[in-house]
Amino acid sequence: MPITDFLERNVKLYGDEIALVELNPEVGENRRTSWKEYGLMEATSKEAYRREITWNVFDEKANRFANMLISRGVKRGDKVAILMYNCLEWLPIYFGILKIGAIAVPFNFRYSADEIQYCVNLAKVDVIVFGPEFIGRIESIAEELSRGRLLIYTGDNCPKFAESYREMTADYPSTAPAVVLSDEDDAAIYFSSGTTGFPKAILHKHRSLTQGAEMEQIHHEITHEDNFLCIPPLYHTGAKFHWFGSLVAGSCAVLLKGTAPEHIINTVAAEGCTIVWLLVPWAQDILDSLDSGVLKKEELKLDQWRLMHIGAQPVPPSMIKRWKEYFPNHQYDTNYGLSESAGPGCVHLGMENTHKIGAIGIAGYRWECKVVDDEGNVVEQGGVGELCVKGPGLMVCYYENQEETKNVLKDGWLYTGDMAMQDEDGFYFLVDRKKDVIVSGGENIYPVQVEAFLRNHNKIKDSAIIGLPDKRLGEIAGAIIELKDGVECSEEEINLFCKELPRYKRPAKIIFAVIPRNATGKIEKPALRKQYGAEHLVAIQNRS
């Protein structure tokens, strides 16, 4: 069945009940982590603090957007990009696209103008819906984007190069468009990147979205009485597919614009949230605030909070042990997944398996897993190989990229590029990544991009970016820099140069050294990680 059927069912069963709440708490200047670092907006007025919509209003907004698109010539199979921060409009726009058989194309809000242009061309986007935070980036490429494309702006004071979402949708009917969908219709394109950092467009059918939704509801036993707190951005398959579990249950969800520990905990208490999905840094911040006494658990109403689960990066078992000390009655789960496998859950720990913390888990609902060697043969239990997954949530392909598709889809199996092993109890553990992608705070850092940037410095001969262990973020980017002969350069000079990069891509540690390369000219990163990763870990331990 198409994913839109769940929305239409919820209207019939729960139409007047709250579907979504948007919270935008005001924050002071002394925040440890700003909202803008995560691409989230601060409240500009008291009225912006809290908004909500029912399932009826959700569906009406989706239908108006759908009918407007049809009137402008958008048809089945056309691509509609979404470049917006989390807000109440995000999901109705997404479902409006799906309702007419068009393909939703969520964009990472960190994309530069060049990356936006690249992805627009790669996915052959026909319509771009963007929020006020992206006016500058869109305006810089508006002349190119507007050639044969519709640009829709969702905020106030619409720029001249776009059309206003509010004005465009105001007079269109709130009834569903007369478009018949099936689970084999194309539904969405998500973007992923390889070690080079160039995005690949991942095409999914409705069946993938429905599989992810039903799997999430089953894995976490979500009922109509649950309330899901969603903090990560909705362009991520992780955030959206976890919310899909609420869609299946017809239950409420809260979109929180902010990551401060006090806002997360206060929201759980005030809104009665029962399920919270956290990234490792946010969970770590909450624990640190509890340890320091900044947060006092006993002063808040948290008894209804039943499940905390984590994904997007490896989870330190020691952190979960600390969590259980503060919240002994919490259920816990971790989820493994890829955009190619319709987000999180193709492998999951399971709420009943906290004795196996450290593992990514077992095959998820309707999924199969195996670990293979370089020839594709299944390795013996306990052996290390590449993790492969198979199930109804697999992507159709990398859009218009047959070669890359053939590299990862073989006989119905997705070759993930992650190295894993299976223990005697059947649980899978990640060992290493084939790719050199650094996962820092749930965000991917692609070393080749940063290395290329650093080589533009007139004193740098060569550069290599590797992941170094970090207590809060999981990993940080370490830059090994080889200077040109006869020149001197300081860390401060490199850090100043790197301010042109987005904050999350900036190297957190600078190391001046010779960079080893093999006979084919490739950087010997395993050797660098072995040397500097171990040294960095010792330094961390000595400081603690």
Which ranges constitute the DSSP H helices of 141-205? 142-145, 165-169
Q: What is the mean pLDDT of residues 202-217?
A: 97
Query: Residue 433: its pLDDT value, please?
Result: 64
468 lies in some domain: yes
Q: Which of 273, 290, 310 is the last residue in one of the domains?
A: 310
Query: Residue 78: its pLDDT value, please?
Result: 98
CATH at 283: 3.40.50.12780
pLDDT class for 334, splitting at 50, 70, 90? very high
pLDDT at 32 over 50: no
Q: What is the residue whose two structure tokens read 């691509």?
A: 79
Same domain assignment for residues 302 and 450: no
Residue 520 belongs to domain spanning: 439-543
pLDDT class for 496, splitting at 50, 70, 90? very high
| 439-449 b/e (C-beta count within 10 Å ≥ 16 → b) | bbbbbbbbbbb
Q: What is the residue whose two structure tokens read 């992941």?
A: 467
Domains of the chain: total: 2
CB 362 within 8 A of CB 427: yes
- More confident of the two residues 418 and 376: 376
**373-416 tens-digit pLDDT:** 989 999 999 998 899 999 999 999 999 999 999 999 999 999 99
Q: Which of 249, 281, 310 is the last residue in one of the domains?
A: 310
Reference 105, options 129, 70, 132; nearest CA is 129
CB 448 within 8 A of CB 195: yes
Q: What is the mean pLDDT of residues 134-157?
A: 94
Same domain assignment for residues 444 and 304: no
The two beta strands, 227-230 and 252-256, are parallel
207 lies in some domain: yes
Residue 228 backbone phi and psi in degrees, to 5: -95, 130
219 lies in some domain: yes
Question: What DSSP string describes 30-73?
Answer: T-SS-GGGGT-PPPSSGGGSEEEEEHHHHHHHHHHHHHHHHHTT
Reference 346, options 381, 380, 395; nearest CA is 395
117 lies in some domain: yes
pLDDT at 266 over 60: yes
376 lies in some domain: no
Q: Under 8 Å CB-to-CB from 90, ≥6 apart: which residues?
A: 82, 84, 234, 255
Of 32-36, 215-219, 290-294, 482-486, where does mean pLDDT reach its minimum?
32-36
pLDDT at 281 over 80: no
Q: What is the residue whose two structure tokens read 């940037």?
A: 453
pLDDT at 540 over 80: no
Of 107-116, 146-155, 446-455, where does mean pLDDT reach its minimum?
446-455
When the pLDDT of each residue in the chain is averaged and rounded to a whole number, the result is 89
Q: Which of 256, 277, 310 is the last residue in one of the domains?
A: 310
Query: Residue 455: its pLDDT value, please?
Result: 83
The two beta strands, 186-193 and 199-205, are antiparallel
Q: What does the block give as tokens for 247?
A: 């869609």
380 lies in some domain: no
CB 478 within 8 A of CB 511: yes
CA atoms within 13 A on the CB side of 14: 21
Task: Name the amino acid, one letter, at 513.
Answer: A
Residue 162 is given by DSSP the state S
Q: Under 8 Å CB-to-CB from 224, ≥6 apart: which residues?
A: 14, 249, 250, 251
Q: What does the block give as tokens for 158?
A: 């619409």
Burial class from Cβ neighbours inside 10 Å (0-12, 13-18, 19+) for residue 298 reads: exposed
pLDDT class for 314, splitting at 50, 70, 90? low
Query: Residue 542: its pLDDT value, please?
Result: 57
Query: Residue 197: its pLDDT value, please?
Result: 55
Reference 475, options 511, 431, 444, 433; nearest CA is 444
CB 136 within 8 A of CB 109: no
pLDDT at 511 over 90: yes
pLDDT at 539 over 90: no
120 lies in some domain: yes
Helix 4-14, helix 90-99: angle, nearest 10: 120
Cα separation, 201 vs 220, whole angstroms: 29
Beta bridge partners of 477: 467
CB 431 within 8 A of CB 420: yes
Q: What is the mean pLDDT of residues 191-210?
A: 81
199 lies in some domain: yes
CATH at 521: 3.30.300.30
- More confident of the two residues 445 and 330: 330
Residue 431 is given by DSSP the state E
Query: Residue 538: its pLDDT value, please?
Result: 53
Of 124-128, 160-164, 235-239, where does mean pLDDT reach its minimum?
235-239
Reference 55, options 324, 256, 246; nearest CA is 246
Cα separation, 491 vs 325, whole angstroms: 40
Q: What percent of the chain has pLDDT over 90?
A: 66
